[in-house]
Amino acid sequence: MTAALTLEGVTKRFGGLHAVHDVSVAIAERQITGLIGPNGAGKTTLFRMISGATRPTSGRVMFAGRVISGRSPHHVCRLGLCLTHQIVRPFADLSVLENVTVAAAFGSGGRRRDTIQAEAEGVLKVTGLAGRGGAPASVLTLAERKRLEIARALATRPAVLLLDEVLAGLNPAETEQAVGLVREISAGGVTILMIEHVMRAMMALADRVLVLNYGRLIADGPPAEVAALPQVIEAYLGQRLAV
């Protein structure tokens, strides 16, 4: 397995609380890896340490052959690792296309000014927002805002994409569309690490599932195997999930 992202003993303490404790894992290239666990398990804290928003207390995060823990989020993004946020906050006064154009101008790799908008338009097509490019971001539905958040992340040209609950709040039809989009992004060669509470979608999407509980990694493996583990059922699922 070639690792796209490696965590070595990553720990975050807030006073006497271990939010994340000694997590070591290698995320395989071009796979969809799911990260699950009960509320307060440390999932978002782990994502924030990977993306540069939070500095680990100890341990390190490796990406693209270098240590990125402690680097700023904008530096990490320009290296090719981008995070989408659970609470979506686009530039409300800009159009959908302008939101994505800003991201395209900022992201990894060289950019020519005369091609940035064309790149942004291409991303809107991929994410199903081509018909909404001229609309203000403020008028989008929740499902469209979620797609815009993914579009802005894709426009930075990520090699690794961290998705934080992109399915939250969506109805079944919207969830199915979002699942298809995640699959399409993965098929394009982007490595995906995603937090999700919609368990049936996660189990259908992920090649591999990691489980956090009280900041510790308690399971790691194929979805069907992980869902059947007693410690996972006790900590999170509550009952055995058919997969």
Q: In the predicted model, is pLDDT for residue 220 greater than 90?
A: yes
Chain position carrying tokens 């290296």: 79
Token pair of 117, please? 């908008």
Q: What CA–CA distance (Å, rounded) separates 98 from 26?
A: 36
Q: What CA–CA distance (Å, rounded) separates 62 from 41?
A: 22
Q: What percent of the chain has pLDDT over 70?
A: 93
How far apart, in Å, are the Cα atoms of 242 and each of 38, 201, 223, 229?
19, 12, 10, 13
Mean pLDDT of 199-216: 91
How far apart, in Å, are the Cα atoms of 92 and each of 124, 135, 218?
17, 10, 40
Could you tell me which residue, 240 or 20, shows the higher pLDDT? Answer: 20
| 113 pLDDT tier (thresholds 50, 70, 90) | low
Residues ≥6 apart with Cβ < 8 Å to 99 = 90, 91, 137, 148, 151, 152
Cβ burial of 24 (10 Å; 0-12, 13-18, 19+) is exposed
Domains and CATH numbers, the chain: 1-80+160-243 (3.40.50.300), 89-157 (no CATH)
pLDDT attached to residue 111: 60
Mean pLDDT of 84-88: 86
Taking only the tens place, the pLDDT of each residue in 18-70 is 899 999 999 999 999 999 998 889 999 999 999 999 999 999 999 988 999 98
Q: In the predicted model, is pLDDT for residue 242 greater than 60?
A: no
Work out the end-to-end distance of the chain between its first and last CA atoms, rounded to an integer number of angstroms. Answer: 25
What is the chain's alpha carbon radius of gyration, rounded to the nearest angstrom?
Answer: 18
| 87 pLDDT tier (thresholds 50, 70, 90) | confident
Could you tell me which residue, 243 or 27, shows the higher pLDDT? Answer: 27
| 108 pLDDT tier (thresholds 50, 70, 90) | low
By DSSP bridging, strand 208-213 and strand 216-221 are: antiparallel
How far apart, in Å, are the Cα atoms of 65 and each of 68, 69, 78, 79, 174?
9, 12, 14, 11, 37
Taking only the tens place, the pLDDT of each residue in 161-188 is 999 999 999 999 999 999 999 999 999 9
